[in-house]
Amino acid sequence: AKNRGRSFVQFYTPALEGRATRMLMQEQLLRQAVERGEFELHYQPQLHLDSGELAGFEALVRWKHPHRGLVHPDEFIGFAENRGLIAAIDHWALREACRQARAWQDAGYPAVPVAVNLSAQEFRQRDVVQEVSQALTHAGLDARLLHIELTESTLMQSGGQVPDALHALKALGVGLAIDDFGTGYSSLAYLRKHPIDRLKIDRSFICDLPHNPDAAAIVSAIVQMGHSLHLEIVAEGVETLAQRELLQNIGCDMMQGFLVSAPLPCEQAQHWMSQHCHP
């Protein structure tokens, strides 16, 4: 018992106290950012593989950190989830993406959908359907120009409310995509019950193309099965021309990745459209 007592004391070293304090400060800063909307969306273009035309944008959040500049989501999304702050960030991103999509439409840019990422917490903690419909109304955006990306684990979690929410979102006219497809648990039988429009094949499969035959077989199988369920298939993380060509041969519908463009700040996304889209 004495030994354990001692190790317990040792556990509370100044280093750990420092860590706890830093975590609290980060949480404070993130809460403040949520209250003040200190975030920015970057937009990554998605192209149709057959025509090469712009198919839409995915909106990806960045935190305008007071000391660290623009912080990428991988560095704070997990933390935000743990602290119950992710739904508020999703709420901000949803509104901002709708506002931007409408502004682009008004400015004469191609009327393509913008996709936002919604977390499982957003589905659990909030009335997603009401938030989405209010965001659309507030922005004056056609529901068909909004896509929502959710992961397989969000789909499988939380009994009951996700399927109902998805059907209501579908009824609004919003597009629904499964993100990081192939990394989670869902089977195509399960997918059939949900009004999903689109699968986004996870980057981990794409990055092994074109040379890894297993990855190619998986991607090809996803495309075939997805098509037989009338789903559109998007490949994420496309970085090379060889990947693009293979995906095109396989019959994949769309691609997104550094080969086309990294996610861009709003003005640069506009510039990208004026360079690449010819009416």
Chain residues binding ligand C2E by CB under 6 A are 44, 60-61, 72-74, 77, 86, 89-90, 93, 117, 119, 179-180, 203, 236-239, 257-258, 263
Shortest CB 189 distance to ligand C2E, Å: 24
Closest CB to ligand C2E among residues 71, 225:
71
Q: Residue 204 phi/psi, 5° resolution?
A: -60, -30
Shortest CB 76 distance to ligand C2E, Å: 9
Closest CB to Ca ion among residues 34, 119:
119
Q: Considering only residues 100, 117, 186, 261, which one is a binding residue for Ca ion as defined by CB under 5 A?
A: 117
Shortest CB 241 distance to ligand C2E, Å: 13
Q: Which does 195 bind (CB under 5 to 8 A by kind): Ca ion, ligand C2E, none?
A: none
Closest CB to ligand C2E among residues 115, 216:
115
Between CA 177 and CA 115 the distance in angstroms is 9
Determine if 149 is a binding residue for Ca ion (CB under 5 A). Answer: yes
Closest CB to Ca ion among residues 181, 272:
181
Interface region with Ca ion, contact rule CB under 5 A, candidates 1-9, 24-32, 92-100, 147-155 = 147-155
Closest CB to ligand C2E among residues 84, 108:
84
> Please, which of residues 162-181 interact with Ca ion by CB under 5 A?
179-180
Shortest CB 106 distance to ligand C2E, Å: 23
Name the residues that contact Ca ion, by CB under 5 A: 117, 149, 179-180, 236
